[in-house]
Amino acid sequence: MRGGSHGATQPSRAGGLEASTFQLDRSHSRESMNKLVPFRSVLIFGGAGFVGSNLAYRILKTTDAKVHIFDNLSRRGVHHNLKWLQGVAGNSDRLKVTIGDVRDAALVQRAVQVATEIYHFAAQVAVTTSIADPVFDFEVNVRGTLNVLEAARKSDRRPFLLFTSTNKVYGSMASQRLVAAARRYSRAGDAGINELQPLDLHSPYGCSKGAADQYVRDYARTFDLPTVVFRMSCIAGPRQFGNEDQGWIAHFLYSALEDKPVTIYGDGRQVRDVLYVEDLVRAFETVRSRMEKTSGEVYNIGGGIENSTSILEIIELIDKVTGKKLHYEMERARAGDQLFYVTDFEKLRRDTGWQPRVNVRQTLENMYDWWKGNRELFPSVVLARPVVAARLQELPEVAS
């Protein structure tokens, strides 16, 4: 992962090479010794969150790139991720933190100025919250994304930009022909959903993420910005502060471990595919290093049929992995819920060779291990009420 493998030098918009953006590759591998590679200045909106902190960790550990995290710390628990990353970065000046909001266009523009690549994860992430406050959801997810895109468009660096969209942009897919078995729904041929599935934006969250998804795609078409959209199904792994509204696998696993009951909406036979977060992070790297192929593309990404599970099945697996019984009650299904969503990631595999490596059981085991090392965060922080904003402000910026 160090330097050379991502190696193609990146021409500026004028066609020349920006000397100030290059540095020596300090890789120990002989072939890449002394090779000039673009200086990577990585900006992660939502970088304190689950996906963002895993990506930041990987970049800090395996490359010489600088990482700038821009996050308003609104997600409960994520300040722990930030503290952990600060520990990883140590005294190096490689990690910069801005506690800021993507709705603040001027602050976003300032952050984007020096970035050579941008990952935009900052979002209002819950369907439930979007229904309670659609305007807030719109402001963060659509306006916030437009702020990021506009800043990138105005930047001389022509940064690579990756946006994480969602399977929710395909709606409930109620017309799929499904078969109901005792513990799961299945679809004819167990085929997954590919990018040809028509958009059907359902719920304010579906609409705002879908609008942002289309804006990001279009900035590649209209402004020649190297953007990629990932439409993701369930991502799981360490550092996810899941709750009933988002991050349901973490929510189920940690609730089982903390002897807290959960609510299942629907009959529990709904099927999802699960992707381990490190497989996702590897996919980010893969599409970035092949941007001549991936720019302007939208990819469905998830664990695929081999990593699919129904809610009832994963509860059984949680029992096996942890030895703890998850207690639950059942409520009516939520409007627009997909009974069956499994990703067909063939387009991404074809374009980049990527495919998942970690299965659902291993994912749960890794999350369980993380829980064992971070028990003090449970239940007081993760399963408790949101932390007060005033306390979050006390976190200092690491560098400016």
Ligand X SMILES: NC(=O)c1ccc[n+]([C@@H]2O[C@H](COP(=O)([O-])OP(=O)(O)OC[C@H]3O[C@@H](n4cnc5c(N)ncnc54)[C@H](O)[C@@H]3O)[C@@H](O)[C@H]2O)c1
Shortest-Cβ-distance residue relative to ligand X: 49
Alpha-helical segments (H) within the chain: 50-62, 78-89, 105-112, 127-132, 134-138, 144-154, 203-223, 248-257, 277-289, 291-294, 311-322, 346-352, 360-373, 389-393
Q: Which of 35, 103, 110, 349 binds ligand X (CB under 6 A)?
A: 103
Alpha-helical segments (H) within 118-186: 127-132, 134-138, 144-154
Q: Which of 57, 119, 121, 276 binds ligand X (CB under 6 A)?
A: 121
Q: How far is the CB of 108 from ligand X (least distance, A)?
A: 9
The residue among 167, 168, 163 whose CA lies nearest residue 212 is: 163
Q: Which of 27, 74, 155, 197 binds ligand X (CB under 6 A)?
A: 74
Contact 333, 269 (CB under 8 A): no
- Complex with ligand X: residue 65 or 169, whichever CB lies closer: 169
Residue 232 touches ligand X, criterion: CB under 6 A:
yes
- Complex with ligand X: residue 81 or 155, whichever CB lies closer: 81
Q: Which of 42, 56, 67, 73 binds ligand X (CB under 6 A)?
A: 73
205 is catalytic: yes
- Complex with ligand X: residue 50 or 299, whichever CB lies closer: 50
The catalytically annotated residue of 57, 119, 170, 205 is: 205
Residue 125 touches ligand X, criterion: CB under 6 A:
yes
Site for ligand X in 126-145 (CB under 6 A): 140, 144
The residue among 247, 234, 241, 248 whose CA lies nearest residue 340 is: 234
Q: Which of 123, 216, 283, 321 binds ligand X (CB under 6 A)?
A: 123
Residue 78 touches ligand X, criterion: CB under 6 A:
yes
CA distances (Å), origin 267, targets 106, 188, 330, 340: 47, 20, 7, 12
Strand partners, 95: 67
Alpha-carbon distance of 52 to 122, in angstroms, equals 9
| Tokens coding 117 | 């690549």
Q: How far is the CB of 147 from ligand X (least distance, A)?
A: 10
Q: How far is the CB of 367 from ligand X (least distance, A)?
A: 13
Q: Which stretch binds ligand X (CB under 6 A): 3-11, 115-123, 347-355, 369-377?
A: 115-123
Site for ligand X in 147-176 (CB under 6 A): 164, 166
Q: Which of 3, 38, 49, 204 binds ligand X (CB under 6 A)?
A: 49
- Complex with ligand X: residue 63 or 130, whichever CB lies closer: 130
Q: How is residue 375 annotated by DSSP?
A: G
Helix orientation angle between 360-373 and 248-257, rounded to the nearest 10 degrees? 50
Residue 193 touches ligand X, criterion: CB under 6 A:
no
Write phi, then psi, for 173 (nearest 5 degrees): 50, 45
Contact 262, 326 (CB under 8 A): yes
Q: Which stretch binds ligand X (CB under 6 A): 7-15, 18-26, 43-51, 377-385?
A: 43-51
Contact 41, 66 (CB under 8 A): yes
Q: Which of 6, 43, 50, 192 binds ligand X (CB under 6 A)?
A: 50
Residue 51 touches ligand X, criterion: CB under 6 A:
yes
Site for ligand X in 242-261 (CB under 6 A): 247
Site for ligand X in 357-376 (CB under 6 A): none
Q: To which H or E segment does residue 328 belong?
A: strand 328-331
My answer on whether omega of the bond before 238 falls inside 30° of 0, hence cis, is: no
Q: 92 Cβ partners below 8 Å, 6+ apart?
A: none
Q: Which of 75, 80, 94, 288 binds ligand X (CB under 6 A)?
A: 75
- Complex with ligand X: residue 64 or 163, whichever CB lies closer: 163
Q: Which residues are annotated as catalytic? A: 205
Binding-site ranges for ligand X (CB under 6 A):
46, 48-52, 71-75, 78, 101-103, 121-123, 125, 140, 144, 164, 166, 232, 234-235, 247
